[in-house]
Structure 1
Amino acid sequence: MKIALLGYGKMGHVIERFALERGHEIVLKKDEFNTYEGLSSADVAIDFSVPSAAVSNISSCFHANVPVVSGTTGWLEHYDEMIALCKEKNGGFISSSNFSLGVNLFFEFNEYLAKIMSQFDHYKVEMEEIHHDQKLDAPSGTAISLAKGIIENSNYTNWTLDDAPKENEIHIEAVRVGTVPGTHTVTYNSEVDSIEIKHTAHNREGFALGAVIAAEWLAGKQGVYTMKDVLNLNTK
């Protein structure tokens, strides 16, 4: 399979290694200094760039008739626009805040727990996410996805970074320190006890492998998909 890498930073290098190990060919390594030359020859593109480049990268793929997997966060105000373009061009698209297989299983646990805990309103939920100090967005896209999973399965209506959340808001504590790849914790607190689920990434490799697996699955397909489709978790 021929892969275009859109964004060739630290994640791009790790994705490249996994792709080559799995027998794929890299036909484009796009960074801020080169063009999209070679994109049209790709079977699929993987976008791990920066928020300011994501829309251009994704739309270029749709115009070139190349399915695209995007793990860039911080650009989602343009998400509906990209979905409309995907449909207009009969493109293929997967966007995820986190391609780690473990995190996507964690999303499922989070939604299931939220359904259960919605019956017990004396528990209040809060979240913490910890990332390296070079991460550009806060809270993380993964934290926002976790919050949305809770909101869709409970009486909560919003999330906030404010230390004094309203009654139906989920407080997210965003911490930036050192070289932490990503740690996400969801805690339900009551006066007598706490229930906590946590995912800790040990390195970037889980994100990269998941992105390559998603690209393998998406190649040759049209439509808008999620990691639930890739992992066959759309059973509910």
Structure 2
Amino acid sequence: MTRVSPKSGPATPGLPRHVAIIMDGNGRWAQARGQPRPFGHQAGVKAVRRIVGAARDRGIEVLTLFAFSQENWKRPPLEVRLLMELLMTVLERELPDLQANGIRLRVIGEHSGFSAALRARIAEAEQLTARNPAMTLVVAVGYGGQWDIVQAAQRVAARGEAITHDALEAELVTAEWPAPELLIRTGGECRISNFMLWQLAYSELYFTDVLWPDADAPLLDDALRWYAGRERRFGGVPQAQA
């Protein structure tokens, strides 16, 4: 749980292709400063910029950020409304930077509860960045791991096919990308909170006490170094015992 002290320079050995992050701690960060929770969400957007830029610079192919879960709809209506407005603003404001840095944007999740304007803004941003080659930024909004598995099973069943491992995996909303090799969760909690339940089956899980608005490139480097030191066995025995 304790952060490793940052070291100088980026971490490159054993670089994961896909990093997923549960961005936790915005509300507590704001409350510690005597501010309302939305103040923390706005500060969290600045952390997103720092981490996206650092991931791109380090050669990460896919970065997935868990921005809003299906369970988050239970939050106070005012906070939810402000989060949706913030998402709309961010999509408009950050699009030029995504284009300039060659970052492709994809937004995954159940979006039926979003306004028509927000759904249109998401579709526009995805279309405009579709050919950007440097990195894919996946933002999970209205997403839940259980929902993802259920919708995949429903798609397979609707075709009258057997629900096999491969058939189900092909219908997950993340099917076009490799599973995350590394999951980072900020904020001090040690759980995955219904995020990518299928995809994280053999991911390395890195938990840090740092609250999301304080996330930066050194934090990402800490996690990448920790990952580089892991021996990924996928159910096998350590190499020393093989």
* Structure with higher RCO (Cα < 8 A, 6+ apart): 2
Q: By percentage of residues, which structure has more strand?
A: 1
> TM-score scaled to structure 2, two decimals?
0.31
TM-score normalised to structure 1 length: 0.31
